[in-house]
Structure 1
Amino acid sequence: MYILLALIAACSLGVALHFGMPRRELRGVAVTPAVATATTAAVYTIMQWMGAGEGDVWLWVVSIGAGLGLAAASTAALTAQRTRRDAAEKQSLGI
Protein backbone atom coordinates (compact mmCIF):
# COMPACT_ATOMS: atom_id res chain seq x y z
CA MET A 1 0.00 0.00 0.00
CA TYR A 2 2.96 2.34 0.45
CA ILE A 3 3.42 2.37 -3.32
CA LEU A 4 0.31 4.55 -3.49
CA LEU A 5 2.07 7.23 -1.48
CA ALA A 6 5.02 7.12 -3.87
CA LEU A 7 2.71 7.33 -6.88
CA ILE A 8 0.72 10.23 -5.45
CA ALA A 9 3.95 12.07 -4.69
CA ALA A 10 5.31 11.37 -8.18
CA CYS A 11 2.12 12.52 -9.87
CA SER A 12 1.93 15.69 -7.78
CA LEU A 13 5.57 16.52 -8.41
CA GLY A 14 5.04 15.72 -12.09
CA VAL A 15 2.27 18.32 -12.26
CA ALA A 16 4.58 20.84 -10.60
CA LEU A 17 7.34 19.89 -13.05
CA HIS A 18 4.97 20.41 -16.00
CA PHE A 19 4.13 23.91 -14.88
CA GLY A 20 7.75 24.65 -13.98
CA MET A 21 9.19 23.76 -17.38
CA PRO A 22 9.05 26.26 -20.25
CA ARG A 23 6.81 26.13 -23.32
CA ARG A 24 4.08 24.07 -21.69
CA GLU A 25 1.60 25.11 -24.39
CA LEU A 26 3.39 22.69 -26.76
CA ARG A 27 2.50 19.55 -24.82
CA GLY A 28 -0.43 18.07 -22.98
CA VAL A 29 -0.91 18.70 -19.30
CA ALA A 30 -0.95 14.97 -18.48
CA VAL A 31 2.27 13.95 -20.27
CA THR A 32 4.81 14.86 -17.61
CA PRO A 33 2.83 13.53 -14.60
CA ALA A 34 2.00 10.32 -16.48
CA VAL A 35 5.64 9.60 -17.30
CA ALA A 36 6.70 10.43 -13.74
CA THR A 37 4.03 8.17 -12.22
CA ALA A 38 4.63 5.21 -14.56
CA THR A 39 8.39 5.35 -14.11
CA THR A 40 8.08 5.64 -10.34
CA ALA A 41 5.76 2.62 -10.26
CA ALA A 42 8.17 0.51 -12.28
CA VAL A 43 11.27 1.51 -10.29
CA TYR A 44 9.49 1.10 -6.95
CA THR A 45 8.30 -2.38 -7.92
CA ILE A 46 11.71 -3.47 -9.19
CA MET A 47 13.41 -2.23 -6.04
CA GLN A 48 10.85 -4.08 -3.90
CA TRP A 49 11.59 -7.28 -5.82
CA MET A 50 15.30 -6.68 -5.22
CA GLY A 51 14.68 -6.62 -1.47
CA ALA A 52 14.38 -2.95 -0.55
CA GLY A 53 12.03 -2.53 2.41
CA GLU A 54 9.19 -0.05 2.61
CA GLY A 55 11.01 1.86 5.33
CA ASP A 56 14.20 2.19 3.29
CA VAL A 57 14.73 5.83 2.34
CA TRP A 58 16.60 4.84 -0.82
CA LEU A 59 13.50 3.12 -2.16
CA TRP A 60 11.66 6.43 -2.04
CA VAL A 61 14.50 8.65 -3.21
CA VAL A 62 15.48 6.46 -6.16
CA SER A 63 11.97 5.65 -7.35
CA ILE A 64 10.62 9.21 -7.18
CA GLY A 65 13.92 10.69 -8.40
CA ALA A 66 14.03 8.35 -11.40
CA GLY A 67 10.43 9.17 -12.22
CA LEU A 68 11.01 12.91 -12.11
CA GLY A 69 14.31 12.65 -13.96
CA LEU A 70 12.86 10.65 -16.82
CA ALA A 71 9.78 12.86 -16.93
CA ALA A 72 11.92 15.99 -17.17
CA ALA A 73 14.11 14.49 -19.90
CA SER A 74 11.20 13.19 -21.96
CA THR A 75 9.30 16.47 -21.59
CA ALA A 76 12.33 18.46 -22.73
CA ALA A 77 12.82 16.12 -25.70
CA LEU A 78 9.14 16.29 -26.63
CA THR A 79 9.13 20.08 -26.45
CA ALA A 80 12.30 20.36 -28.54
CA GLN A 81 10.90 17.98 -31.16
CA ARG A 82 7.65 19.92 -31.35
CA THR A 83 9.53 23.22 -31.69
CA ARG A 84 11.65 21.86 -34.56
CA ARG A 85 8.63 20.36 -36.30
CA ASP A 86 6.65 23.59 -36.00
CA ALA A 87 9.57 25.60 -37.39
CA ALA A 88 9.93 23.21 -40.34
CA GLU A 89 6.20 23.37 -41.02
CA LYS A 90 6.24 27.17 -40.96
CA GLN A 91 9.20 27.21 -43.32
CA SER A 92 7.52 24.82 -45.75
CA LEU A 93 4.36 26.96 -45.74
CA GLY A 94 6.39 30.15 -46.21
CA ILE A 95 5.07 31.78 -43.05
Structure 2
Amino acid sequence: MQILLGLIIGAVIGLAVHFALPHRHLRGVVLAPLAGAAAAAILWTALTWMGLGVDSPILWIVAVLAPAVTTFALVSLLTRSRVARDEADRARLGV
Protein backbone atom coordinates (compact mmCIF):
# COMPACT_ATOMS: atom_id res chain seq x y z
CA MET A 1 0.00 0.00 0.00
CA GLN A 2 2.91 2.35 0.65
CA ILE A 3 4.01 2.09 -2.95
CA LEU A 4 1.10 4.40 -3.76
CA LEU A 5 3.12 7.18 -2.16
CA GLY A 6 5.91 6.57 -4.65
CA LEU A 7 3.48 6.37 -7.56
CA ILE A 8 1.79 9.64 -6.63
CA ILE A 9 5.10 11.43 -6.11
CA GLY A 10 6.39 10.16 -9.45
CA ALA A 11 3.24 11.17 -11.32
CA VAL A 12 3.22 14.66 -9.82
CA ILE A 13 6.90 15.18 -10.65
CA GLY A 14 6.27 13.89 -14.17
CA LEU A 15 3.40 16.33 -14.59
CA ALA A 16 5.62 19.17 -13.41
CA VAL A 17 8.30 18.18 -15.91
CA HIS A 18 5.70 18.04 -18.68
CA PHE A 19 4.68 21.64 -18.03
CA ALA A 20 8.23 22.84 -17.39
CA LEU A 21 9.70 21.71 -20.71
CA PRO A 22 8.89 23.33 -24.06
CA HIS A 23 6.99 21.76 -26.98
CA ARG A 24 4.14 20.41 -24.85
CA HIS A 25 1.94 20.23 -27.92
CA LEU A 26 4.22 17.61 -29.49
CA ARG A 27 3.75 14.97 -26.82
CA GLY A 28 0.83 13.52 -24.94
CA VAL A 29 -0.05 14.85 -21.53
CA VAL A 30 0.15 11.34 -20.04
CA LEU A 31 3.69 10.51 -21.17
CA ALA A 32 5.64 12.38 -18.49
CA PRO A 33 3.43 11.47 -15.49
CA LEU A 34 3.43 7.84 -16.57
CA ALA A 35 7.22 7.80 -16.92
CA GLY A 36 7.62 9.45 -13.52
CA ALA A 37 5.23 7.03 -11.84
CA ALA A 38 6.94 4.04 -13.46
CA ALA A 39 10.41 5.18 -12.40
CA ALA A 40 9.24 5.83 -8.86
CA ALA A 41 7.42 2.50 -8.61
CA ILE A 42 10.37 0.49 -9.88
CA LEU A 43 12.86 2.14 -7.55
CA TRP A 44 10.47 2.18 -4.58
CA THR A 45 9.92 -1.55 -5.02
CA ALA A 46 13.62 -2.27 -5.40
CA LEU A 47 14.55 -0.24 -2.33
CA THR A 48 11.85 -1.79 -0.16
CA TRP A 49 12.97 -5.25 -1.24
CA MET A 50 16.47 -4.23 -0.15
CA GLY A 51 15.08 -3.56 3.32
CA LEU A 52 14.49 0.17 3.38
CA GLY A 53 11.31 1.27 5.08
CA VAL A 54 9.16 4.37 4.90
CA ASP A 55 11.17 5.82 7.78
CA SER A 56 14.36 5.82 5.67
CA PRO A 57 15.32 9.18 4.16
CA ILE A 58 17.14 7.43 1.30
CA LEU A 59 13.84 5.99 0.08
CA TRP A 60 12.25 9.44 -0.03
CA ILE A 61 15.23 11.10 -1.69
CA VAL A 62 15.30 8.44 -4.40
CA ALA A 63 11.50 8.64 -4.75
CA VAL A 64 11.84 12.32 -5.63
CA LEU A 65 15.09 12.39 -7.61
CA ALA A 66 14.66 9.26 -9.76
CA PRO A 67 11.38 10.30 -11.41
CA ALA A 68 12.69 13.83 -11.94
CA VAL A 69 15.86 12.67 -13.68
CA THR A 70 14.20 9.88 -15.63
CA THR A 71 11.27 11.97 -16.81
CA PHE A 72 13.39 14.96 -17.71
CA ALA A 73 15.75 12.82 -19.80
CA LEU A 74 13.01 10.80 -21.47
CA VAL A 75 10.78 13.74 -22.33
CA SER A 76 13.71 15.82 -23.60
CA LEU A 77 14.94 13.01 -25.87
CA LEU A 78 11.50 12.18 -27.22
CA THR A 79 10.65 15.83 -27.86
CA ARG A 80 13.96 16.43 -29.62
CA SER A 81 13.38 13.34 -31.75
CA ARG A 82 9.85 14.44 -32.63
CA VAL A 83 10.99 17.94 -33.63
CA ALA A 84 13.75 16.52 -35.84
CA ARG A 85 11.38 14.03 -37.46
CA ASP A 86 8.77 16.71 -38.10
CA GLU A 87 11.39 18.96 -39.70
CA ALA A 88 12.58 16.09 -41.91
CA ASP A 89 9.01 15.35 -42.97
CA ARG A 90 8.38 19.01 -43.78
CA ALA A 91 11.54 19.17 -45.86
CA ARG A 92 10.71 15.93 -47.66
CA LEU A 93 7.17 17.10 -48.44
CA GLY A 94 8.23 20.62 -49.33
CA VAL A 95 5.87 22.21 -46.85
Under TM normalisation by the shorter chain, which class is it?
Answer: over 0.9
**Contact 2:18–2:29, Cα closer than 8 Å, also in 1:** yes
Question: Which runs of 5 or more structure 1 residues have no equivalent in the other structure?
Answer: none
Amino acid at match of 2:84: R
Q: Cα distance, 1:31 vs. partner?
A: 0.2
Aligned residues: 95
Which residue in 2 is equivalent to 1:91? 91
Q: % of aligned pairs identical?
A: 39
Which residue in 2 is equivalent to 1:70? 70
CA distance in 1, matches of 2:26, 2:15: 15
CA distance in 2, matches of 1:34, 1:64: 15
Tell me the TM-score normalized by structure 1. Answer: 0.94
Which residue in 2 is equivalent to 1:17? 17
**Dislocated runs of 4+, deviation >6 Å:** none
SS at match of 1:9: helix
Which residue in 1 is equivalent to 2:55? 55
CA distance in 2, matches of 1:38, 1:6: 9
CA distance in 2, matches of 1:36, 1:65: 10
Tell me the TM-score normalized by structure 2. Answer: 0.94
CA RMSD of aligned residues (A): 1.0
CA distance in 2, matches of 1:68, 1:34: 12
Question: Which runs of 5 or more structure 2 residues have no equivalent in the other structure?
Answer: none
Q: Is it true that 1:39 corresponds to 2:52 in the alignment? A: no
**Contact 2:9–2:63, Cα closer than 8 Å, also in 1:** no
